[in-house]
C-alpha cells in the first residue's frame, strides 16, 4: 500500500519558518542599497518534491523595512522594524529554494517594495511627516548641508555621500526635513578636502569605511540643522551634534 502523501506545509510550521529565515537572509545579503528587511508574514508556501530528501520550495513573503541600513553590521535580529507611523515600507518577495538533506539554499528571489499609503498614515496620525521622494529638492538640500556641516566639524576622513536612504517632510506645525543617508570614507582628511574635494576617492570596500547619518533640518519658523553620523566597522561609534543646535 503506498504511503499517504505528507500533509501540506502550513505557513507557520517550523520548516516554513526555517525556509523563510534562509530566504530573508539571502535577500538582505544580496541587497546593496536601502535598509534591511525583516519577516512580517509568510503569505504562502508550496513544496514540490523532487526525489528522496530533495524538495523545491516556493515562498511568498511579506517583509517590513527595519531601521538598519543594509551596510550596517548590526545583525537583523537586533534591527527594529519601522513603525506604521514612521511611514512603513513593505516588501513582497517570491523566493524559490531547494531543500536537500534538510539544508536550504536559495535558487532565485524577486522582490518589490512599496510604502504604505499617505492617506492611511494621515488618518492615524494627521501631523506625522510623510515619506518624500529621494530626489526632492528640499531633501537633497538638507542632506548636502548636513554632510557638509559634519565634514567641516570633524577632523577625521572626509565623508562622501553614498545614497539617501529615506526622507520625510513635515509641514505643520513646523516645516522640517528629516533625512537618513549612507556615507563612505575617502582618502582625504577634512583639511585636504577643503582644497579639492572632487579629487577625494572612496576607500576600497570595507565595512569600516561606511557610515550612516541622520539629519534634521528645520526650515521654518526657525532655521536649524542637526546631524548625527555613526561610522561602522572597527571604528568606534561616533555621534556628532553641532553645538548650538537643537
User: What is the binding site for another protein (CB under 8 A)?
Assistant: 8-12, 16, 38-45, 62, 64, 81, 84, 88, 90, 116, 120
Q: Which residues pair with 113 in a beta bridge?
A: 91
Strand bridging mode 89-100 / 224-231: unpaired
Comparison of 40 and 98: residue with beta carbon closer to another protein: 40
- Neighbour count for residue 171 (Cβ, 10 Å): 12
What is the smallest separation between the CB atom of 88 and another protein, expressed in angstroms? 6
Comparison of 84 and 240: residue with beta carbon closer to another protein: 84
Comparison of 99 and 160: residue with beta carbon closer to another protein: 99
Three-state secondary-structure class, residue 23: helix
Comparison of 29 and 85: residue with beta carbon closer to another protein: 85
What is the smallest separation between the CB atom of 124 and another protein, expressed in angstroms? 11
- The phi, psi pair for 238, rounded to 5°, reads -115, 125
Burial pattern 57-95, b for ≥16 Cβ within 10 A else e, equals bbbbbebbbbbbbbbbeeebeebebbeeebbbbebebbb
What is the smallest separation between the CB atom of 92 and another protein, expressed in angstroms? 10
The C-alpha cell at 203 is 576607500
What is the smallest separation between the CB atom of 9 and another protein, expressed in angstroms? 7
What is the smallest separation between the CB atom of 45 and another protein, expressed in angstroms? 6
Comparison of 35 and 158: residue with beta carbon closer to another protein: 35
What is the smallest separation between the CB atom of 172 and another protein, expressed in angstroms? 25
* Alpha-carbon span 9 to 17, nearest angstrom: 10
Please state the length of the chain: 246
Comparison of 41 and 171: residue with beta carbon closer to another protein: 41
Please name the residue that has the C-alpha cell 565634514. 151
Query: CB within 8 A of 108, min separation 6: which ones?
Result: 95, 96
Q: Which residues pair with 120 in a beta bridge?
A: none
Amino acid at each position: 500500500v503506498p504511503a499517504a502523501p505528507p500533509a501540506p506545509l502550513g505557513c507557520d510550521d517550523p520548516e516554513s519558518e526555517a525556509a523563510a529565515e534562509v530566504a530573508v537572509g539571502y535577500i538582505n545579503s544580496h541587497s546593496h542599497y536601502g535598509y534591511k528587511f525583516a519577516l512580517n508574514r509568510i503569505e504562502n508556501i508550496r513544496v514540490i518534491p523532487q526525489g528522496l530528501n530533495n524538495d523545491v520550495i516556493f515562498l511568498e513573503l511579506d517583509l517590513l523595512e527595519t531601521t538598519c541600513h543594509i551596510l550596517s553590521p548590526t545583525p537583523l535580529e537586533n534591527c527594529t522594524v519601522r513603525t506604521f507611523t514612521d511611514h512603513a515600507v513593505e516588501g513582497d518577495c517570491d523566493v524559490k529554494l531547494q531543500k536537500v538533506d534538510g539544508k536550504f539554499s536559495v535558487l532565485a528571489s524577486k522582490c518589490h517594495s512599496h510604502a504604505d499609503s499617505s492617506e492611511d498614515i494621515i488618518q492615524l496620525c494627521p501631523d506625522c511627516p510623510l515619506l518624500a521622494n529621494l530626489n526632492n529638492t528640499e531633501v537633497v538640500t538638507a542632506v548636502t548641508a548636513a554632510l557638509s556641516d559634519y565634514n567641516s566639524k570633524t577632523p577625521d576622513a572626509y565623508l562622501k555621500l553614498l545614497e539617501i536612504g529615506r526622507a520625510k517632510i513635515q509641514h505643520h506645525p513646523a516645516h522640517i526635513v528629516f533625512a537618513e543617508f549612507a556615507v563612505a570614507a575617502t582618502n582625504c582628511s577634512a583639511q585636504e578636502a577643503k582644497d579639492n574635494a572632487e579629487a577625494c576617492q572612496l576607500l576600497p570596500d570595507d565595512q569600516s569605511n561606511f557610515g550612516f547619518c541622520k539629519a534634521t533640518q528645520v526650515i521654518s519658523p526657525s532655521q536649524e540643522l542637526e546631524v548625527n553620523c555613526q561610522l561602522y566597522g572597527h571604528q568606534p561609534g561616533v555621534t556628532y551634534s553641532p553645538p548650538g543646535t537643537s
